[in-house]
Amino acid sequence: MRSTKTIIGVLAASCVLALMVTGWATGAGDKTTATVGSGKASATKSVCGLGTGKKATGRPIKIGGIGMLIPGVDFTTIGKVAKAYFDCVNDNGGIHGRPVQYILYNEQLNPAQQAALARKLVESDKVVGVVGNTSFTECGTNWKYYKAKGFVVIGAGVQAECFGTPSIVEVNMGPRYSNIGAAQALVRAGAKSIVVASPSTIAAYADGGAIKVAQAAGIPGKSVPVTLPVTDANTIVQQLYQAAGPGGGIILDFTPDTAPALMKAAEAQGLIDKVKWGSSTPIANTFMAGQFGKWDGKLYINSEFGLLDPSQGPDTRLMLDVLKKYTKIDPQAFAQMGFMAGKFSTIALLNVKGPVTAKSYNASVRKLKNIKTDMICKPWYVGNALPYHIPNNWDITVDYKGGKVVLKEKCFAIAPVDKEVAQTRVWEKKFKLNTGK
Amino acid sequence: MDSVVAFAVFGVDWEFFKPYIVLGLALGGVYALSGVGIVVLYQATGVLNLAFGAIGAAGALIAYWMINHTSWPHWLAYVTCVAFGGVVNLAYGLFFGPAFAARDPLVKMMGTLGLALILLGLMAWRAPVGGAFARFLPLPSSSHTFTVFGAFVNWTQVIALVFAIALTVVTTAFLRYTNLGTAYRAIANDREITATLGVPVRRVEASAWFGSGLVAGAAGLLLPDLLTSLDYAALTFLVIAALAAALIGRLQSLWVTLLGGLAVGLAQALFAPYASITQYRSAAPFVLAIVALLWLSRRRVVTITRTAR
């Protein structure tokens, strides 16, 4: 009896030992796998922050962000990916040893909530910087507050104030300029008219530039505001077709929450080939390309960012790795926005000499210029003391093919139908903001 | 020529009108069959089921989950969607039906509003809006299309319309020619007397809850395909158009409910080409219900009597 107990005891001990050895061996195996974003940065390799591969410790540096989440539009992806980038930075030495703590709040298109959250971030949470903000109206609500507090927000914008005020700098070009790019592509493709459909909240701003492009080309242009969430996509698509007419051009300016319903409706009603379809940036993603095979070769999607393919360059490769390791988010334009917001603010943080405070960080942000990345056509910048910023004003046209997003037109300049774009290009030359030198 | 006439009469090119007629009839079909389901339940139990749309929406979400997250066959997901409607409605009827039986119709109705809100909450919890991508629940029938006078028609649209008509015909015959149908009508007249005559009232009511729930599930399956995306909020508020159809039928006539549902669907679609009124299309169910109720009661004399105590 005793011997039986002994045998059982030995077996149990052996099992525990075996498990421990296996665990140790597995741990050892992990150590041989390089940490995502680690290594030495070069022309062909991007790293997260310092790229040391060592976890940052110590007192965190707080960065905050505000993302809009309403039925039909989820902008929180941008902040989530910015957080993923900061997590990667934290796993690679942080900001000279200190981790970044990213605080992301959601808002529901509510100005009072937007104002309260900005104040909470700055005054209660004591963040040193605001990064990754994206909303239909938050720029308009808070830009004066950020300016008064000396903050320069690095985010992804939608409305006019995101591109027309001194305290906000966006990594994207927003719907107005993206729609201009889509309209340029459709005009080049021979569209007989341009109809732009945007969410009613932003249509007045977002659609105007594309209509100017149509007018400059001597064809009719019309804006069709759409109330979100879309509950009757078939009718809306018919309205768009009715406005554009056969051979006309329709630009869909919606996020991946809403655009698919309209595209499915166009499919169901046999309208794909009756007009030329354009879009602003958000639907340039592989997930949708895989779902909409019938649209292969038939789309003119303006993309403010490069292709989501590893061959695009080192930043894109790193972003794909970061998404895989730190999130469950599919590669998409919103991920590129979040990645760039995280990367550019990290550069500003690393450039700070001395203590990282709100004052020193935002001063560092203002000095950013000629930041190279393969995700956009020209180097990105902030530019000290500019009254407004449109650093991303070149883009490409992409299409779907075999479940992938493919290049249709190489980098081209957004038509300067707005005087702000023309003025921006003057500043870029004068202050050498994106010359790459 | 017809195009010129249509433009002169309606102010819109006939070519643009045709697709709206197809869309309106298909959506109207779903409103109509939902209205019929609501009327039958009301007739048998006195309950105006405000959870009708939410039950269909929840069934559709379950079907979506089965199709996208399991390897089970699609037909099983479709059957589950319809069966879910029947089971949930039946469960509600079995648990709360007897308790509410003697209560005021308004109380009965508010009970179903509670069920709708619970289902809406559960859906918002398990399948929150956002998440970056839209949900779809396409039926195989929508990939088969044909044209009628140049208008694109898919088989889901045909099924929606034909199903509504068939349901109305079958239900009318059922109520008139079967024992169960006679029991429904008897309960509608007087529940207590029917019970004293030996009719198993609870069982009869349970069958009404179950049948009406199956219709809710079927509507929940058809509507995401007709609307091109699965928006559970939109599906939940399907009940508004269905209620309008039921009210047009004065919660009595299945045939008028059918016509009411089709009229609501057509009105919503045919106002779409007019830029000046298109944003008010969602009011069409109420406007039509009010107009129809006024018209149908135009010859009624309102009498006020004082009951002797």
- Please write the tens of the pLDDT for every residue from B255-285: 999 999 999 999 888 888 777 777 777 788 8
Q: Which of B152, B272, B279 sits opposite A269 (nearest CB)?
A: B152
Tell me how close the Cα of A275 comes to any Cα of chain B, in angstroms. 14
CATH number of A175-303: 3.40.50.2300
Q: Which residue has the higher pLDDT, B113 or B273?
A: B113
Residue A24's pLDDT is 40
Q: Which of the residue ranges A281-290, A300-309, A334-343 would you say has the lowest mean pLDDT?
A: A281-290
Strands A129-130 and A73-74: unpaired
Residue B285's pLDDT is 84
Question: Are B129 and A269 inside 8 Å of each other by CB?
Answer: no
Residue B300's pLDDT is 63
Burial of A11: CB neighbours in 10 Å, binned 0-12, 13-18, 19+: exposed
pLDDT by residue (tens digit) across A368-420? 999 999 999 999 999 888 999 999 999 999 999 999 999 999 999 999 999 99
Name the band, by pLDDT with cuts 50, 70 and 90, for residue A19. very low
Residue B306's pLDDT is 57
Quick check: ipTM above 0.85?
A: no
Q: Which of A151, A181, A76, A132 is nearest to A343 (CA)?
A: A132
Residue A20's pLDDT is 42
Most confident of A356-360, B44-48, B126-130: A356-360
In chain A, CATH 3.40.50.2300 sits at 61-173+308-392, 175-303
The residues that bridge with A301 in the sheet, in sequence order, are: A279, A398
Q: Which of A231, A258, A330 sits opposite B134 (nearest CB)?
A: A258
Question: Are A69 and B279 inside 8 Å of each other by CB?
Answer: no
Tell me how close the Cα of B156 comes to any Cα of chain A, in angstroms. 11
The highest-level CATH class for domain A61-173+308-392 is alpha beta
**Mean pLDDT for chain A overall:** 90
* Rounded Cα distance, A413 and A302, in Å: 12
Residue B294's pLDDT is 82
Residues in A touching B13 (Cβ below 8 Å): 242
Domains of chain B, CATH where assigned? 2-296 (1.10.3470)
Residues 6+ apart with CB under 8 A from A28: none
Mean of the pLDDT values across residues A145-161?
Answer: 94
| B130 touching chain A per CB within 8 A | yes
Tell me how close the Cα of A272 comes to any Cα of chain B, in angstroms. 12
Residue B130's pLDDT is 54
Chain A: residue whose CA lies nearest to B229: A261
Q: Which of the residue ranges A7-16, B38-47, B75-84, B280-289 would you say has the lowest mean pLDDT?
A: A7-16
Q: Which of A71, A268, A287 sits opposite B133 (nearest CB)?
A: A287
Residue A381's pLDDT is 96
Burial of A30: CB neighbours in 10 Å, binned 0-12, 13-18, 19+: exposed
Residues in B touching A256 (Cβ below 8 Å): 132-134
Residues of chain B above pLDDT 90, percent: 47
Longest dimension (CA), chain B: 70
Residue type (1 letter), A224: V
Q: Which of B130, B228, B279 sits opposite A234 (nearest CB)?
A: B228
Residues in A touching B138 (Cβ below 8 Å): 264
Residues in B touching A70 (Cβ below 8 Å): 129-130
Residue B5's pLDDT is 58
Tell me how close the Cα of A411 comes to any Cα of chain B, in angstroms. 27
pLDDT at B15 over 80: no
Which of A224, A237, A240, A269 to mutate to probe the B interface, most B CBs <10 Å? Answer: A269
| B236 touching chain A per CB within 8 A | no
Residues in B touching A230 (Cβ below 8 Å): 229, 231
Q: Which residue has the higher pLDDT, A136 or A63?
A: A63
Q: Which of A242, A255, A261 sits opposite B229 (nearest CB)?
A: A261
Which B residues, 140 through 169, put their C-beta within 8 Å of a C-beta on chain A?
142, 145, 152, 154
Q: What are phi and psi of A100, to 5 degrees?
A: -95, 130
| B133 touching chain A per CB within 8 A | yes
Tell me how close the Cα of A117 comes to any Cα of chain B, in angstroms. 20
CA B206 to each of CA B41, B189, B200, B271: distance values in angstroms, whole numbers, following the listed order? 10, 17, 10, 40
pLDDT at A241 over 90: yes
Question: Are B279 and A227 inside 8 Å of each other by CB?
Answer: yes
Chain A: residue whose CA lies nearest to B24: A235
Residues in A touching B14 (Cβ below 8 Å): none
Could you tell me which residues of chain A have a Cβ less than 8 Å from any Cβ in chain B? 69-74, 76-77, 227, 229-235, 238-239, 241-242, 255-262, 264-265, 268-270, 287-288, 329-330, 332, 334
Task: Give the CB-side neighbour count of residue A331, counting CA atoms within 13 A.
Answer: 24
Residue A18's pLDDT is 46
Chain A: residue whose CA lies nearest to B233: A231
Residues in B touching A258 (Cβ below 8 Å): 134
* Rounded Cα distance, B93 and B99, in Å: 10
Residues in A touching B279 (Cβ below 8 Å): 227
| Cβ–Cβ < 8 Å for B43, B49 | no
Exposure string of A299-335, with b = 16+ CB inside 10 Å and e = fewer, is bbbbbbbbbbbeebbbbbbbbbbbbeebbebbbbbbb
Chain B: residue whose CA lies nearest to A335: B132
**Mean pLDDT for chain B overall:** 86
Q: Which of B12, B136, B231 sits opposite A264 (nearest CB)?
A: B136
Residues in B touching A329 (Cβ below 8 Å): 132
Mean of the pLDDT values across residues A3-29?
Answer: 45
Residue B305's pLDDT is 57
pLDDT by residue (tens digit) across A45-72? 999 999 999 999 989 999 999 999 887 6
pLDDT by residue (tens digit) across A76-102? 999 999 999 999 999 999 999 999 999
Tell me how close the Cα of B143 comes to any Cα of chain A, in angstroms. 8
pLDDT at B287 over 90: no
Residue B238's pLDDT is 82
Q: Which of the residue ranges A99-113, A283-297, A342-356 would you say has the lowest mean pLDDT?
A: A283-297
Question: Are A261 and B131 inside 8 Å of each other by CB?
Answer: no
Residue A23's pLDDT is 41
| B136 touching chain A per CB within 8 A | yes
Which B residues, 198 through 227, put their C-beta within 8 Å of a C-beta on chain A?
226-227
Residues 6+ apart with CB under 8 A from B229: A230, A233, A260, A261, A264, B134, B135, B136
Which B residues, 3 through 42, put their C-beta within 8 Å of a C-beta on chain A?
12-13, 16, 19-20, 23
Q: What are phi and psi of A276, to 5 degrees?
A: -100, 130
| B68 touching chain A per CB within 8 A | no
pTM of the model: 0.79
pLDDT by residue (tens digit) across A351-377? 999 999 999 999 999 999 999 999 999
| Cβ–Cβ < 8 Å for A326, A88 | yes
Residue A10's pLDDT is 45
Name the band, by pLDDT with cuts 50, 70 and 90, for residue B296. confident
Residue A343's pLDDT is 97
Residue A252's pLDDT is 96
